[in-house]
Amino acid sequence: MRRRANPFAPSPIAPRQGRLTLEGREVAYLLKPSPRRRTVGITVRPGGEVVVNSPARMPPGPLESILRQKAPWILAKLAEFAQAPVRPPFLWQEGETLPFQGERYPIHYCHLAGRDGLMFGNNRFWIDRVRWERAGKGQPPEDCFPQRMTRWYRAQAQAQAESRAARFAPLVGVKPTVVKVRDQKQRWGSAAQTGVIHLNWRLVLAPPGIFDYVVVHELCHLREMNHSPKFWALVAKVLPDWQARRKWLRQADLTPPWEQPAP
């Protein structure tokens, strides 16, 4: 599953760049025709990229007139994102919060006996700052802490991905061969016919029910390698409220505070 769009929809027609003058302003857009689509959908991404999803064989005339109709909305979105501030650097100060499983928890610095210099408990991240700084060889925390923190998130995500797959696979009636978290920038998850499922480690930042949904979604792809009604019926059998979860995910920003939000 892509972070924003649908990876299994067939797209034999390559996306292409288009340009149009809207209310005196030249707007570039990425046109993505798909045989699956019946209507035109317009998305403006943070950063100002305009993406137009259209039916496969849509003539330029009608497409242009739809874009013109939507011009006020497109221009307002572009203006909004142009003003959006870039996320400031995360400074790793005591009491600052980090996301985990749909909540935010403060950082508390202490001396720890554990191997990783990090523990999660009592609704706090307990970090052995001295040890992390020593391991970072004098780099400031904003340069060396994200790597250590990410390693912890990934380990959590991996363990959770495996236990979820074990719980849901029998309900879907499949046996995945490998379930692995990865650093995927554009996708929440993917499934291959070989039974391999990859999941984005950032899902561990989302509420557990959202992580569940992506796991179930990918497991269902082991039976249905598409997004047909049959596929969604399979998802619905396990998670009747999948639509609400999917909607949440589409609007979510699941980037840790040291990363800029995904475009």
Nearest-approach distance from CB 48 to Zn ion, in angstroms: 27
Q: What are phi and psi of 21, to 5 degrees?
A: -90, 115
Other CB atoms closer than 10 Å to residue 58's CB: what's the count? Answer: 16
When the beta carbons of 20 and 222 are compared against Zn ion, the nearer one is 222
Rounded to the nearest 5 degrees, what angle is found at the Cα of 51, between the Cα atoms of 65 and 254?
145
Shortest reach from residue 53's CB to Zn ion, in Å: 16
Output the smallest distance, CB 242 to Zn ion, in A.
11
CA-CA-CA-CA dihedral for 81, 208, 153, 234, to nearest 10: -90
Task: Name the minimum Å distance from CB 221 to Zn ion.
Answer: 6
Name the token pair of 230. Answer: 């049959």
Q: At its nearest, how many Å lie between Zn ion and the CB of residue 252?
A: 16
What is the number of other CB atoms lying within 10 angstroms of the CB of residue 32?
Answer: 19
Is 118 or 203 the residue whose CB approaches Zn ion more closely?
203
- The residue ranges that bind Zn ion (CB under 5 A) are 1
Task: For residue 95, give both structure tokens.
Answer: 């009491």
Whichever of 125 and 211 has its CB closer to Zn ion, that residue is 211
- Nearest approach in angstroms of CB 100 to Zn ion is 25
3-state secondary structure of 191: strand
Please identify the residue of the shown chain whose CB is closest to the bound Zn ion. Answer: 1
* Strand 118-121 to 103-109 pairing: unpaired
CB of 235 to Zn ion, least distance (A): 9
Shortest distance, position 262 Cβ to Zn ion, whole Å = 18
Q: Which is nearer to Zn ion, 31 or 191 (CB)?
A: 191
Return the number of the residue (74 or 206) whose C-beta is nearest Zn ion.
Answer: 206
Nearer to Zn ion, 1 or 222 (CB): 1
| Closest to Zn ion by CB, 108 or 246 | 246
Q: What Å distances lie between residue 120 and 98, 197, 203, CA to CA?
A: 11, 27, 17
Name all contacts of 252-256 with Cβ < 8 Å and 24+ positions apart.
Answer: 252/206, 252/210, 254/99, 254/200, 254/202, 254/203, 254/205, 254/206, 255/202, 255/205, 256/90, 256/98, 256/99, 256/146, 256/149, 256/150, 256/153, 256/202, 256/205
Nearer to Zn ion, 1 or 254 (CB): 1
**What is the enclosing helix (H) or strand (E) of 144?**
helix 141-172
Strands 124-127 and 118-121, how do they pair? Answer: antiparallel
